[in-house]
Amino acid sequence: MMARRLLTQRSVQFLSTLLARQSKRIPSRGLQVLPSKPETTQHTSRHLRPIGRHSKCQRLMSEWVYSKSLRPEFDMQEICDNIEQIAENVRHRKGDADVHEVVELWKRLKCLEKEMSDFQIEEDRLNLLKDQIRETEDAFYQSASRLPNRTHPEAPWGEEDEPQLVLLVGEKPKFTFSIRSHYELGEHLDIIRIKNLGHVTGHRSYYLKGAGAMLEHALIRFTVDRLLGRGFRAVTVPDLVQPIVFEGCGMRTKGLHTQVYQLDRRKHDRNLCLSGTAEVGLAGYFMDRVLDVEDLPQKVFAVSQCFRAETTHSAEAKGLYRVHQFTKVEMFCVTTDDQSECIFDELVAIQKDLFAELGLHFQVLDMPSHDLGAPAFRKYDIEAWMPARHGYGEISSASNCTDYQSRRLRIKYRSKEGDLRHAYTLNGTACAVPRVLLTLLECNQERDGSVTIPNALQLYMNGKTVITKPSSGLLHHTRL
């Protein structure tokens, strides 16, 4: 009995030390911040719960954590068996996860659960164990959620590695005159307004008007028609999504450099974020679902507004390349593990066909480990030639996320043998409108400042073949 009490005391001391060390890292993990005012806690989402009021960790971890029903389903056997390989993968992907800490917390949790299974335990000790298990679970899931996906063995490996060129399509346009940038063309043709918007929206925003707005609609309709022809199903997604779905997709909603806009919880009844890509809403559609293997692969797409904070200071601040809100057509697929490579190739093939039909000159790049982000197992970027930049700019990407997102969002399928397995998810940009639009304007400009419309889009522009400067009906903006 004395030995058990001594072991219990040491266990409590060990847990307190571990949680204290753990708490120093938690503020940057992207989970929801616990409101400082007690009266705001009545609006807690049923999907998230705060750490107990009398918990030892409340002073250390003022964050929202996963409720038991929505916790990720990590493959801890694989993690425990490959600690050093995973640690190396984290380093190469510039992650901040600590796999040794994850395993340590996991083992501690198993010890506590085993101790709790002792039916002879006193009631006071039982209540203490429940608190310890809950706190250790919270620390474990927050730590494990920061682990990145595995890296494809053929992807460029290492922090210094550059993207590997996979394919080069088309030729750079040649001009015999001094070219204009897309925003100069937009102002000349009166189809884009970028200047003097500080009193309306602030920087990195824009208006499309006249033929510019029609060109956006043409790009969307062109892309949608091609995706429907490839067997994709259209879905309309919400723009407001709960943070836990973002986290499940591998996107952090908190932190200094987050790209996610979040609504003020004090003024709304729950935590909601503005989606930066339809990938989040599409992944959420399949969240907590079990699909039949006969129904896979699922291939869907959505046209949505995308909202991004764009906190990085970039030379791209002027124009359409990096903006806070834009329209995008996004592809999303749910597959079995053995279907994912084939579907990844299909997504890239669709992207290549779309951009080739628009007459763009572009390159396909296999991205290195340090540029994959957290969820991608492998990622291809497509960069188009943008004359005014005198270089290439990203217009699209495709990612195979394997079971990274499905384990966090509990997306499963039932195999022919009847057992449940985690599905694989993939995503790809079919058309990021502003970047494709700026590329088309710059590559198809003429000496007089007009722009030739690609043949593939003329059908969607009511037969219009050239965008010229209008002679009347201009919507000019003059500051008072």
Given the DSSP bridges, would you call strands 412-414 and 391-400 parallel, antiparallel or unpaired?
Answer: unpaired
pLDDT of residue 473: 54
pLDDT of residue 118: 67
pLDDT of residue 397: 98
Residue 40 predicted with pLDDT over 60: no
CA dihedral 90, 96, 99, 104 (to 10 degrees): 170
> Which of 147-151, 254-258, 268-272, 449-453 comes out lowest in average pLDDT?
254-258
| Residue 277 assigned as binding residue | yes
pLDDT of residue 432: 97
What is the overall mean pLDDT for the chain?
83
Higher pLDDT, 9 or 58: 9
| Residue 136 assigned as binding residue | no
Judge contact between 82 and 147, C-beta under 8 A: no
pLDDT of residue 62: 29
Judge contact between 385 and 379, C-beta under 8 A: no
Mean predicted confidence (pLDDT) in 434-446: 98
pLDDT of residue 119: 58
pLDDT of residue 471: 77
3-class SS letters over 369-408: HHHCCCCCCEEEEEEEEEHHHCEEEEEEEEEECCCHHHHH
Quote the CA–CA distance of 421 and 411 in Å, as a whole number: 9
| Residue 316 assigned as binding residue | no
pLDDT digits (tens, 9 = 90+) for 278-316: 999 999 999 999 999 999 999 999 999 999 987 565 556
pLDDT of residue 254: 76
Quote the CA–CA distance of 441 and 463 in Å, as a whole number: 18
| Residue 309 assigned as binding residue | yes
**Model-wide pTM > 0.75:** yes
**In this prediction, what percent of the chain has a pLDDT beyond 70?**
79
Quote the CA–CA distance of 79 and 98 in Å, as a whole number: 12
pLDDT of residue 55: 35
Given the DSSP bridges, would you call strands 451-452 and 378-386 parallel, antiparallel or unpaired?
Answer: unpaired
| Residue 323 assigned as binding residue | yes
Owner of token pair 């259209």: 234
pLDDT digits (tens, 9 = 90+) for 222-256: 999 999 999 999 999 999 999 999 999 999 887 66
Concatenate the DSSP letters of all residues of 119-164 into one string. TT--HHHHHHHHHHHHHHHHHHHHHHTTPPPP--TTS--STTPPPE
> Which of 21-30, 192-201, 251-260, 418-427 comes out lowest in average pLDDT?
21-30
Q: Determine which helix (DSSP H) or strand (DSSP E) holds 5, and give its type and residue range.
A: helix 2-23
Residue 94 predicted with pLDDT over 60: yes
pLDDT digits (tens, 9 = 90+) for 9-36: 444 444 444 444 444 433 333 333 333 3
Rounded to 5 degrees, φ, ψ at 397 are -150, 155
Strand partners, 429: 330
Strand partners, 48: 66
Rounded to 5 degrees, φ, ψ at 94 are 60, 35
| Residue 324 assigned as binding residue | yes
Judge contact between 156 and 347, C-beta under 8 A: no
pLDDT of residue 4: 44
| Residue 427 assigned as binding residue | yes
Mean predicted confidence (pLDDT) in 170-179: 96
pLDDT of residue 475: 57
Judge contact between 301 and 235, C-beta under 8 A: yes
The beta strand positions in 159-282, using DSSP E, are 164-169, 192-193, 207-208, 233-234, 240-241, 261-262, 273-274
Given the DSSP bridges, would you call strands 451-452 and 362-366 parallel, antiparallel or unpaired?
Answer: unpaired
| Residue 396 assigned as binding residue | yes
Judge contact between 369 and 158, C-beta under 8 A: yes
pLDDT digits (tens, 9 = 90+) for 252-274: 887 667 888 888 877 777 789 99
